[in-house]
Structure 1
Amino acid sequence: MTVALMWEARAVAGRGEELLAWTREQELAERPLRRETFRAPQDRVLVITWWDAAYDSALPELPEPGGELVARPVHRWRFESVGES
C-alpha cells in the first residue's frame, strides 16, 4: 500500500523563503519512496512524502519549525492511495 503524508505550514509574513529553506534542510529518519516540496502564495510551504507502508504505520514526519518562523501550527494529513487514473 502507498501512504502519502502531507505537511503544510504558513510562514510569518515575508519569511516564506526561510521556511522553504528550513524544510529542505530537514532529514527524515528513513528515506521515503518520494518527497516533493511546493510553495504557494501567503508564504505557505507544502511537503508530501510517499511511503510503501500500511496506513497506520509509524512513519517519520517533518517536525514543527520554530515558533518565530510560522504564523500558525503545522497542518498534517495522511492519505492512502486508491490507484492511478
Structure 2
Amino acid sequence: MTVALMWEARAAEGRGAELLSWVREQPLPAEPLRRETFRAPQDRVLVITWWDAPYDASLPELPEPDAGLVTRAVHRWRFEAVADH
C-alpha cells in the first residue's frame, strides 16, 4: 500500500523564503519513495511524502518549525492511494 503524508504550514509575515529553506533542510530518518515540496500564495509551504507502508504505520514526519517562523501549528494529513478505474 502507498501512504502519502502531507505537511502544510503558513509562514509568518515576510518569512516565506525562510520557511521554504527550513523545510528543504529537514532530513527524515528514513527515505520515502518520493518527496515533493510546493509553495503557494500567502507564504504557504506544502510537503508530500510517499511511503510503501500500511495506512496506520508509524512513519517519520517533518517537525514543527519554531513558533516565530509560522503563523499557526502545522496541518498534517494522511492519505492512502486507491486504484484508478
Whether these two folds match at TM > 0.5 is yes
Q: Spell out the pairing of 1:4-83 with structure 2 (5 A cutoff).
A: 4-83=4-83
Counterpart residue type for residue 21 of structure 2: A
Count of residue pairs brought into register by the alignment: 85
Distance in 1 (CA, whole Å) between partners of 2:38 and 2:79 is 17
Distance in 1 (CA, whole Å) between partners of 2:81 and 2:18 is 31
Query: Unpaired segments of 5 or more residues in structure 1?
Result: none
CA RMSD in angstroms comes to 0.8
Aligned residues with identical type, % of pairs: 75
Q: Structure 2 length normalisation: TM-score?
A: 0.97
Counterpart residue type for residue 19 of structure 2: L
Query: Unpaired segments of 5 or more residues in structure 2?
Result: none
Distance in 2 (CA, whole Å) between partners of 1:81 and 1:54 is 11
Distance in 2 (CA, whole Å) between partners of 1:58 and 1:43 is 29
Counterpart residue type for residue 42 of structure 1: Q
Secondary structure of the equivalent of 2:38? Answer: strand
Secondary structure of the equivalent of 1:38? Answer: strand
Report runs of 4+ in structure 1 exceeding 3 Å deviation. Answer: none
Counterpart residue type for residue 38 of structure 1: F
